[in-house]
Amino acid sequence: MTAVDLPSHRGLGGRAAGEFSARRGPRRLAHIAFFYCAVVGAAALALAARHPYENANLVGLPLVLWSITGVGLAVRRASVEVGADGVRWGWRALGVRMDRGRIAQVAIYRDAVALEPRRGSTWFLSARDWDRFAALAVAMRRAGLPVVEHPRTAPWRARLQSYGRVLNGLMVAAMIGVTLTVVAAL
């Protein structure tokens, strides 16, 4: 796995067997939360700036909440690309890859895909997080990766690594937090 990688269609590998993005609803929530925290956070900063020494916490909190939603937006805009040369997670200019040679097996469950490397950490891709999940399993097979089918749900450790619900909760909590910050600044 590399920290910086080029997409496979930019000269390092073959054609992609499939490219997958986050589900539409969570992506929309991340966009809304980011812009809501930017606008309402700016209002909170303007209100807190009237008495900066009394409202020191109210000055930093909108920036922290906006940063959290920025990371959430970045994660939701990332994509998974499956190709004959391996699996890549990230954006057009920056990503991480698990090369085909490192993959011991791809375990496909009803609700997750586990990329198990020969050494290192397993990647779990949950159906809750990715759009067109059934096509993801097909793309793994089409790319010629070593696929093992399991007719059950993913094990508990795989479900724990599914970040979808936690990330959505953080987005909602950030919007509530920045709203409370404005109320406190009034």
Give me the residues of the chain with pLDDT under 50, please: 1-3, 7-12
Cβ contact 52:60 at 8 Å? no
Taking phi first (over 0 means left), then psi (-120 to 50 degrees means alpha), and beta for anything else, what does residue 57 get? alpha
Give 127-159 pLDDT, tens digit per residue.
Answer: 888 888 889 888 988 888 999 999 998 888 777
Containing H/E element for 60? helix 56-77
Give the pLDDT score at 14: 53
Rounded alpha-carbon distances, angstroms, from residue 183 to 35, 46, 64, 103, 177: 18, 12, 17, 51, 10
**What per-residue confidence (pLDDT) applies to 8?**
47
